[in-house]
Amino acid sequence: MNYRLISKLLGVVALLIGTSMIFSLPWAFPQLGFRESLGNTSQPDLINEHEFEMAGSLALIASMAVCGLVSGALFWFGRKARGNMFRKEAMAVVGLSWILATVLGAMPFYFTGTYRCSGVRLLGEKAAPLIFEFGSFRLRKQWDEAELLAPDEYALLSAINDAGAVGLSPQGVSSVLPDVDAEQLIRDLVSSAPAWQSTIILPNAEPDASADRVGNYRIRWVKMGLADACFESQSGFSTTGATVLADLEDPHLIPHCILFWRSTTHFLGGLGIIVLFVTLLGSGSAGKALMRAEMPGPTKEGATPRMQETAWLFAAVYVGLNVVLAVILKLAGLSSFDALCHAFATMATGGFSTYNASVGHFAQHPNLYNSEVIEYSIILFMILAGTNFTLLYLCLIRQPGRLLGDIEWRAYMGLILFASIAVVAFGLLHQDFSDVISAIRYGLFQVVSIVTTTGFGTHDFDSWNSFGRAVLFVLMFVGGCAGSTGGGMKVIRHVLMLKILRQEIELAGHPTVVRPLRLGDTAITDPGLRKNVLVYFSLIMIIFVFSWVFLVGFEPGNAWGTTIEHKLIDCASGVAATLNNIGPGLGIVGATHQYTAFSPVSKTLFVWLMMLGRLELFSILVLFSPRFWRTI
């Protein structure tokens, strides 16, 4: 193993990440980051006039320094690098550079001390708080009867908690329970138990808080830990879009510049995948071997003979599509900040939004945004992002027939159409949607968002009928086309799988008949392909099952409150949504929720799942094989 060469290349990665952070700095100026639709809340002036984001920009600069140091150390170790890249080195570089990127990309979140969620979780009927301890719900295995709140106390805390990190003014608190001395009730609660004391903030207890909250009764929010930061970073680079952040709209919890860094990780992740896909073509693992064998691309036919040139072409297509979408979104009413962030998330099939309601936010402000244009543009660009970039490039050089004739793309479009019709029909049958127009709008958006593994939401699909949710769950495993930024298992693998299984059934009746697999007019001659597809499915299945059992066993049941039954489904959907780089799952990780309730250990598992899914397993799995490192 050529360690020095690996080190040198990892140094480049660290340098690139550090450099990319520069572009997040400008948004620390309030004039740039300001989001108009949030100005319509109850405290318009306060959000508008908030000062330069010092913490965020310092964190970014510190992170850049770390990147520089790491990069320097890696370059120094690799200064005498000799020899060529071989397959093993390539795999090691890919796997290790994603791990490195995750850690370096987590720095800005961690250094800023970004807040991820409220420090109290009030669980419906039980009326008991789950107080965060050591950054998670982990330690509360049992309900402590003594800590159960009285109904009055529960109502008060609910109201304060619902008001977010800003909290409720004394007047607001009093108006929740007009008949009792509400303020005294809270003060009694604080003095009664240490857990509450560290969680409830009384007015003016923290004089350096911002003007919109200093005089309020508030719940303390929890800062991101290292596992949270790595989760968010990996979720960005792997273009998953799963988040631990419960409130994206309060710049005191997460500054604009950090929010932009969060979206930048999507852009970098998508770019990385597109470039990797090209540069590893013909030298890669089983997953790459699949693409090599199948990809009806120009590389095979010599349209762009040199690999580096192809990589640049694809990167240009990717960046170009990002720019086009950003311009469209800007014209539809988004600020430059929002337009860029959402373009990044769309073209990388990531899914990080800058609003709590994801893309659904824009429909809530019809006076500011043309939400239909926004949603349908995003649908179109999600579909493009899930398409093989070779085919997109061929369209650009006026060979659209290659796109329309491609088996994988036809299956991909057919699946989107078929699944949308099923979801819309069942949704209407079960009255999940108010009318046909909105059913099509929300149903199509959600199906495209899941199939392309973006994970945006415009409708709470967790409130849909069971069939709709089951279909979305299964679609998570499909993913986009090979050679796109989409995650999941890729449409082509499913197409091949169905062909293989159909042949095997026939083979069982006619053991002597051996025919080659056909994809359209092309016979597939690679003998390893059949096995590779089957192995890939099996590995995904086994990783899924083991992760699921681990989560169900490791996570305490009371994170699910009174609906413990859902734990099985929620954990399964969480694994599916991270392993396939979707983002949101069902239940507590559903469209309107976050991964914040999971323990740090489980979050670390999710980090690995996202990385495994993104790099199609092998580049990560081999890192754990001692034999891989031992031999030359």
The residue ranges that bind a second copy (CB under 8 A) are: 87-88, 91, 285-286, 422, 426, 430, 465-467, 469-471, 473-474, 497, 500-501, 504-511, 530-531, 534-535, 537-539, 541-542, 545, 548-549, 552-553, 557, 563-569, 587, 618, 621-622, 625, 627-628, 631
Determine phi and psi for 217, rounding to 5 degrees.
-80, 125
DSSP 482: T
- Residue 549 Cβ vs a second copy, minimum distance, rounded to whole Å: 5
Determine phi and psi for 122, rounding to 5 degrees.
-95, 120
- Residue 292 Cβ vs a second copy, minimum distance, rounded to whole Å: 13
Determine phi and psi for 430, rounding to 5 degrees.
-95, 15
Helix 336-347 crosses helix 371-385 at what angle (to 10 degrees)?
30
- Residue 467 Cβ vs a second copy, minimum distance, rounded to whole Å: 4
58 vs 569, which CB is nearer to a second copy? 569
207 vs 553, which CB is nearer to a second copy? 553
- Residue 285 Cβ vs a second copy, minimum distance, rounded to whole Å: 5
| Residue carrying structure tokens 């992002």 | 385
Q: Is the dihedral of CA 156, 157, 161, 167 positive or negative?
A: positive
Burial class (CB in 10 A: 0-12, 13-18, 19+), 169: middle
- Residue 18 Cβ vs a second copy, minimum distance, rounded to whole Å: 30
- CA distances to 157, 171, 174, 175, 253 from 181, rounded to whole Å, are 14, 11, 7, 10, 30
54 vs 564, which CB is nearer to a second copy? 564
- Two tokens, residue 292: 């090599």
38 vs 450, which CB is nearer to a second copy? 450
* Sequence-separated (6 or more) residues with CB below 8 Å from residue 72: 11
Burial class (CB in 10 A: 0-12, 13-18, 19+), 512: exposed
126 vs 365, which CB is nearer to a second copy? 126
DSSP 222: E
Q: Name residue 127's amino acid.
A: A
225 vs 468, which CB is nearer to a second copy? 468
> 168 forms bridges with which residues in the sheet?
217
Q: Output b/e per residue, 128-142; b: 16+ Cβ within 10 A.
A: bbbbbeebbbbebee
Q: How many C-beta neighbours within 10 Å does residue 312 have?
A: 14
- Residue 149 Cβ vs a second copy, minimum distance, rounded to whole Å: 24
44 vs 528, which CB is nearer to a second copy? 528
- Cα separation, 364 vs 339, whole angstroms: 17
- Residue 553 Cβ vs a second copy, minimum distance, rounded to whole Å: 4
- Cα separation, 306 vs 1, whole angstroms: 26
150 vs 545, which CB is nearer to a second copy? 545
- Two tokens, residue 421: 């019709």
326 vs 620, which CB is nearer to a second copy? 620
- Residue 622 Cβ vs a second copy, minimum distance, rounded to whole Å: 4
Q: Are 363 and 460 in contact (CB under 8 A)?
A: no
- Residue 87 Cβ vs a second copy, minimum distance, rounded to whole Å: 7
- Residue 535 Cβ vs a second copy, minimum distance, rounded to whole Å: 5
Q: Name residue 128's amino acid.
A: A
256 vs 469, which CB is nearer to a second copy? 469
**3-class secondary-structure state, position 133:** strand
- Residue 391 Cβ vs a second copy, minimum distance, rounded to whole Å: 27
4 vs 88, which CB is nearer to a second copy? 88
Q: Are 595 and 565 in contact (CB under 8 A)?
A: no
151 vs 511, which CB is nearer to a second copy? 511
62 vs 497, which CB is nearer to a second copy? 497
Determine phi and psi for 269, rounding to 5 degrees.
-60, -45
Q: Are 218 and 165 in contact (CB under 8 A)?
A: yes
- Cα separation, 334 vs 315, whole angstroms: 25
75 vs 544, which CB is nearer to a second copy? 544
Residue 122 C-beta-side C-alpha neighbours within 13 Å: 19
- Residue 251 Cβ vs a second copy, minimum distance, rounded to whole Å: 36
- Residue 543 Cβ vs a second copy, minimum distance, rounded to whole Å: 10
Cα 241 to chain center, whole Å? Answer: 1
- Cα separation, 103 vs 232, whole angstroms: 10
- Residue 545 Cβ vs a second copy, minimum distance, rounded to whole Å: 6
The secondary structure of 149-185 as a DSSP string is PPHHHHHHHHHHHHTGGG-B-HHHHHHHSTTS-HHHH
| Residue carrying structure tokens 């090599």 | 292
